[in-house]
């Protein structure tokens, strides 16, 4: 069964999109593999391992995490609902971002409070939830309840994902979880690499529909839906 997700993907013509897909080595929209930049101090094989999961999921920030469509709904229904959701919203500037550490992995995170993104994500979670199938055994197996707080477990049961609403943290993932030696090499390198793209900024001008065609396959961007119709 395919899974679908609602993501923020930087605008296709933005420096942030170009820098991100090049860093991860894959463009989820064109589905092309891209030669990543060279990080001195890391072998190409090591660099590839340290970006494996972010590359599979594609360059994005999560608004509504991957889910299976409920019985009776199709991808066409999801896109139609995304168009309805986006038609009543207006573009706004992406909050200022910086390279930060989030539970051991590096990501682009807001430099200060990002209430607009927090609100957009909460609205996505709630609006699209009627299209989400109930949690399956496979969904539950992906989560270790011992590492979740009681609130996160409640959110997981209610919304199918533990890191939503008050637990949501806007971020664009850059790496796997890192040990101290790899983080010491990569964090300053990524700060330099993304500096120009972050200075240029970007607009949050829509929602991107991503698809995982089969379990474990690479996610692909199947539709960008702009705000304001």
What CATH number does residue 80 fall under?
A: 3.90.1140
Domain of 8 in residue numbering reads as: 3-112+172-226
Average pLDDT over the chain reads 95
* 19 Cβ contact list (under 8 Å, min separation 6): 193, 194, 196, 197
Question: For a pLDDT cut of 90, what percent of the chain falls above it?
Answer: 91
Helix-then-strand count for the chain, H and E:
8, 11
Q: Running along the chain, 229 residues long, what does each successive block of 10 average in pLDDT?
A: 96 97 98 95 95 98 97 97 97 97 96 94 98 89 80 93 96 97 96 97 97 96 92
Q: Is residue 41 part of a domain?
A: yes
Number of domains in the chain: 1
CA–CA gap between residue 131 and residue 168 (Å, rounded): 20
The whole-angstrom distance between residue 38's C-alpha and the CA centroid of its chain comes to 24
What is the pLDDT at residue 130?
97
Q: Is residue 54 part of a domain?
A: yes
Q: What is the pLDDT of residues 185-226, one digit of tens each?
A: 999 999 999 999 999 999 999 999 999 999 999 999 999 999
**Residue 142 located in a structural domain:** no
């Amino acid at each position: 069964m395919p899974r679908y997700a609602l993501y923020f993907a930087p605008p296709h013509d933005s420096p942030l999109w170009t820098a991100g897909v090049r860093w991860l080595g894959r463009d989820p929209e064109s589905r092309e593999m891209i030669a990543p930049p060279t990080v001195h101090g890391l072998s190409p094989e090591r660099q590839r391992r340290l970006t494996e999961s972010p590359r599979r999921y594609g360059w994005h920030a999560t608004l509504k995490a991957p889910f299976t469509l409920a019985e009776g709904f199709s991808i066409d229904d999801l896109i139609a609902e995304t168009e309805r959701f986006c038609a009543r919203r207006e573009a706004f500037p992406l909050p200022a971002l910086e390279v930060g550490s989030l539970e051991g992995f590096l990501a682009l995170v807001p430099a200060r409070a990002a209430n607009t993104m927090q609100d957009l994500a909460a609205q996505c979670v709630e609006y699209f939830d009627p299209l989400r199938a109930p949690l399956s055994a496979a969904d539950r197996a992906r989560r270790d309840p011992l590492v979740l707080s009681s609130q996160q477990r409640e959110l997981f049961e209610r919304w199918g994902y533990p890191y939503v609403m008050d637990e949501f943290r806007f971020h664009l993932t850059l790496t796997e979880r890192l040990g101290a030696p790899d983080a010491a090499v990569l964090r300053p390198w990524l700060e330099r690499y993304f500096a120009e793209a972050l200075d240029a900024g970007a607009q949050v001008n829509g929602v991107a529909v991503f698809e995982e065609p089969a379990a474990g396959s690479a996610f692909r961007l199947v539709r960008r839906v702009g705000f304001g119709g």
